[in-house]
Structure 1
Amino acid sequence: MSTPFEKPQIIAHVQRSLNYTVFDSKWIPCSAKFVCLGNYARGTGVMQIYEVEHGEVKLIKEIEKAKPIKCGTFGASSLQQRHIATGDFDGNLNIWNLEVPDVSVYSVKAHKEIVNSIDGVGGLGIGDGAPEIVTGSRDGTVKVWDPRQKDSPVANMEPGEGEAKRDCWTVAFGHAFNDQDRCVCAGYDNGDIKLFDLRNMSLRWETNIRNGVRPTEDTNGRGPAPRLKGKCKSLAIKPFLFTQSLIN
């Protein structure tokens, strides 16, 4: 009989060895399939699609890309399309139709350096408003993209003149409980966490946790009176939870 103090167990359901480095993996929404993103030792990128079948993982499709792929998200795609947006080592943002993944359906040179992190909102029933994608890069910028608009971002958050550029490690959308409000949270290598208000195009809040920020996550409430909340971790393996009372 389990007790409240008993440690949870994580049991591996199935394992598979790979001949490349995996940087990200995502379940394909409403399916028993998932996609793995990474790079081969020869410096090219790879995208593999697997299906879980009878307790085993079956490779459905494998596509090699010119540049290593660092991150991906389905957050801005509809459940009908299930297109994945990816960021690569050359600073490119691409959107792929996994049914025909040889050529991207959207492509833009998003950053001057590697895209470290990506997130989406407005698709899959995640948040209200238009579908958008946010990317964070080693070049110190955080950019928001509308897949319906080509070549230029709808928002660009970058250091001011004379300010040092910090490596942006992680980004996440949040506060998207209506068609007007939306925020982006970004974490940097020096421990900075910045919350950008996209409605007012302003820095809403910032803090420093002294160690590089690992993936951030929006946990804001849904409903008539949502609270703005978020959580992240640092390189020191310390979890942090921020709530509206602190942010305000």
Structure 2
Amino acid sequence: MFNVLTIPAFDDNYIWLIKDSQSSRCIVVDPGDATPVLEVIASQNLTIEAIIITHHHNDHIGGVEKLMMDNPETKIFSKEPLFDNANLVDEGDTIAFFDGRLSFKVWQVAGHTLDHVAYFNEQMLFCGDTLFSAGCGRVFEGTHQQMFDALSRLALLNEETKVYCAHEYTQNNLIFALHVDPHNMELINYIKRVSKARQQGLATIPTTIKCEKLINPFLRCDQPSLLNSVQNILAKPLTSGESLFKALRLYKDQF
């Protein structure tokens, strides 16, 4: 069994720690800040077996060097050689941990950045800044087509897969989602659940692929009701899911 611990960082980042219940080992995902990770490591007497990185932005890698100082045997996995001893991963790779008891497949999900990858199995998806609850990452280095393709691919994963994204953006994303998809009852009910969770100081992540397919406009670009709504808002025709996605993402950038 494996437990995923939530480590808040900065204003709204999440660092994920995957803890092996059969040993004192763990994996850290996207450690932008070492300090809160080291606190958890010390309090639970853990050893970091590996650090896995989704992309190169500093709020995802800023704590790596400090963590490596205290754990020099730790392996680093990333798409690009961000650190001297990085193990490079690419599309279609499988990486294994804890004596082979946990493994993740690797997909390229360029869009937010060109080096962005996602790590997943049937239970867990670590997707960095590609897919958020009720939203998706900004397109900084890639193209809108790349981001659309990446999200479409993630939407094909097992619906019960838990989605561990890297930011608590859910409430802000929901404001935009409701604006463009106002008659979506699944979305309206989700807003109520999220509101209650945040009032109690609880994280809204992980979400699930199933939930996101019901409420996330960026995964619903095949829905005629959303297409019609966005066409009316923007007062221009949209002829495909790809064009709807690009229009949504550009509109969200200015929202």
TM-score (norm 2): 0.28
Q: State the structure with bigger RCO (CA 8 A, min sep 6), 1 or 2.
A: 2
TM-score (norm 1): 0.29
The structure in which a higher percent of residues are helix is: 2
The structure in which a higher percent of residues are strand is: 1
